[in-house]
């Protein structure tokens, strides 16, 4: 890995290349899968690299950062929300000067999951940290961060990768033909992580199944609906993916109603979409709103099967 392998972050790397211009606290924002984590790690490598063409990926520092064992790069990654204890840990570490290199780099993954106590606890540290501390807070968006955090940091946002670059990279890295790579690049709208996910066979199959369900819904009788949940049996995790795919489908129908063919997400299904007529705007708007509502229900621990039954009935117009 090097700077060139992370797409959509060149403008961010540029800042760190100039020693006189970078400051201590940054929030890096971007959608899920935009490559924030990768970018942050490259920055950490760059700052601590001892090789010639930084980040060289061959020196000891680079290698141990890549392996996650470098003492001066602290990466906080956890699946549950980040509490005040984790932050205290970071504060304590930030007082110590770097052991072997010039900068202590603190990377907080999913910073938007910090509890409000945690965010408050880190405020003073962000504002008055020592010059050799670099904080990189990675967040999906700044909305979930306190304004007091936002005001102490500089916000850098990842850019969407450009289609050509992304296609090239996918072809090279995953050894696939151009057609497939191009589709993934388009469908993902330049979000690298999404493009990669799209190419996984599991996901391709999953998506096809969701489309099958949508297709069956077209001519279903109300009582048929109750069998449909059984086709995929989504759990809490995959329910979100399923809702995403369904939402994108109905949204595409909306686009077709307005002749915006160039914005269609499911570009590979275009001919199918074009045949799927007879949904007026207001119905589609209603369906999409319902899907959003269902998403909240799933997040709030509702019974998933019931949720989907209700949604399917709703799509039928019952």
Of residues 258-297, those binding another protein (CB under 8 A): 258-260, 263, 280-286, 288-289, 292, 295-296
15 in Cβ contact with 72 (< 8 Å): no
What SS3 class is residue 209?
helix
Find the shortest distance in angstroms from Cβ 219 to another protein.
10
Binding mask 297-316 for another protein (x = CB under 8 A): --x----------------x
- Which of 128, 177, 202, 237 is close enough to bind another protein by CB under 8 A? 128
Angle between helices 163-174 and 178-187 (to 10 degrees): 130
What torsion, rounded to 10 degrees, do the Cα atoms 126, 51, 35, 121 define?
-20
Q: Show contacts of 198-203: CB within 8 Å, 24+ apart.
A: 199/170, 199/174, 203/241
**Closest to another protein by CB, 15 or 176:** 15
Buried b (16+ CB within 10 A) or exposed e, 120-155: ebbeebbeebeebbbbbbbbbebeebeeebeebbee
Map the footprint of another protein across residues 169-198, applying CB under 8 A: 189
Looking at 57, 132, 165, 168, which residue binds another protein (CB under 8 A)? 132
Stretch of 43-51, 63-71, 83-91, 178-186 lying at the interface with another protein (CB under 8 A)? 83-91
Alpha-carbon distances of 181 from 184, 199, 268, rounded to whole Å? 5, 8, 12
Q: Count interface residues toward another protein (CB under 8 A).
A: 72
Joined together, the tokens standing for residue 79 give 């699946």
Q: In angstroms, give the least distance from the CB of 265 to another protein.
A: 8
The binder of another protein chosen from 17, 60, 97, 124 (CB under 8 A): 124
Region 19-78 residues binding another protein, contact defined as CB under 8 A: 19-25, 29, 32
Binding of residue 255 to another protein (CB under 8 A): yes
Q: Which of 6, 39, 49, 87 binds another protein (CB under 8 A)?
A: 87
DSSP label at residue 175: -
83 binds another protein (CB under 8 A): no
């Amino acid at each position: 890995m090097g700077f060139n392998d992370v797409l959509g972050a060149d403008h961010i790397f540029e800042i760190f290349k100039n020693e006189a211009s970078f400051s201590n606290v940054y929030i890096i924002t971007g959608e899920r899968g935009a490559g924030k984590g990768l970018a942050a790690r490259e920055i950490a490598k760059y700052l601590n690299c001892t090789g010639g063409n930084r980040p060289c990926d061959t020196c000891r520092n680079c290698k141990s950062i890549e392996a996650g064992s470098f003492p001066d790069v602290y990466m906080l990654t956890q699946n549950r929300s980040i509490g005040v204890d984790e932050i205290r840990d970071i504060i304590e570490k930030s007082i110590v000067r770097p052991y072997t290199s010039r900068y202590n780099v603190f990377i907080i993954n999913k910073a938007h999951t910090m509890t409000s106590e945690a965010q408050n606890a880190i405020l003073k540290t962000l504002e008055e940290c020592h010059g050799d501390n670099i904080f990189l807070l990675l967040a999906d968006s700044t909305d979930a961060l306190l304004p007091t955090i936002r005001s102490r940091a500089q916000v850098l946002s990842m850019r969407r990768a450009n289609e050509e670059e992304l296609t090239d990279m996918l072809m090279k890295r995953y050894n696939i033909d151009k057609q497939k790579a191009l589709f993934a690049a388009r469908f993902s709208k330049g979000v690298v992580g999404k493009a990669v996910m799209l190419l996984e066979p599991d996901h391709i199959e999953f998506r096809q199944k969701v489309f099958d369900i949508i297709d069956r819904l077209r001519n279903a009788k109300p009582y048929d609906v109750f069998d449909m949940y059984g086709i995929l049996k989504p759990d809490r995790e995959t329910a979100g993916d399923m809702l995403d795919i369904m939402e994108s489908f109905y949204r595409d129908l909306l686009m077709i109603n307005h002749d915006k063919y160039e914005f269609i997400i499911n570009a590979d299904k275009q001919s199918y979409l074009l045949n799927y007529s007879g949904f007026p705007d207001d119905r589609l708007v209603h369906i999409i709103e319902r899907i959003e509502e269902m998403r909240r229900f799933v997040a709030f621990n509702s019974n998933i099967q019931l949720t989907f039954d209700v949604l399917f009935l709703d799509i039928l117009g019952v």
